[in-house]
Amino acid sequence: MSDCIFCQIAAGQIESDIVYEDELVVAFRDLNPQAPTHILLIPRQHMGSLDAASDEDIQLLGHLTLVAAQIGRSEGIAEDGYRLLTNVGPDAGQSVPHLHFHLLGGRVMHWPPG
């Protein structure tokens, strides 16, 4: 998907502050951080949202989740806690149509979200 900004970030065509990458996933700092630590984790392979995932993606999604936990530890936010979430569709406010998980930490967050 050449017009997808997150595909372009994964391909290195758009600059980003990458904190982790491997053959399956890329993690980079959000351009407009909502917390002291705000990292986005994406699959390299284009997928519109979690709603587009299938059984074939179980290994990818498990891997991505464990990478998020590893980054939580390496960012030093695991002890105080963090939030890992993905917005799906318009009601959730998804603005970039490439599956991404937000890893947010470094401050107290409220529940339920607005």
Q: Which of 38, 98, 100, 102 is catalytic?
A: 100
Provide, rounded to whole angstroms, the least separation between the CB of residue 47 and ligand 5GP. 13
Distance (Å, whole) CA 62 – CA 43 = 11
Interaction partner, residue 98 (Zn ion, ligand 5GP, none; CB < 5-8 Å by kind): Zn ion
Among residues 30 and 75, whose Cβ is nearest to Zn ion? 30
Closest CA to 69 of 79, 59, 60: 79
63 included as an active-site residue:
no
Say how far residue 11 (Cα) sits from the centre of its chain. Answer: 16
From 10, 28, 101, 104, residue interacting with ligand 5GP (rule: CB under 6 A): 28
Q: Applying CB under 5 A, which residues contact Zn ion? A: 1, 4, 6-7, 46, 98
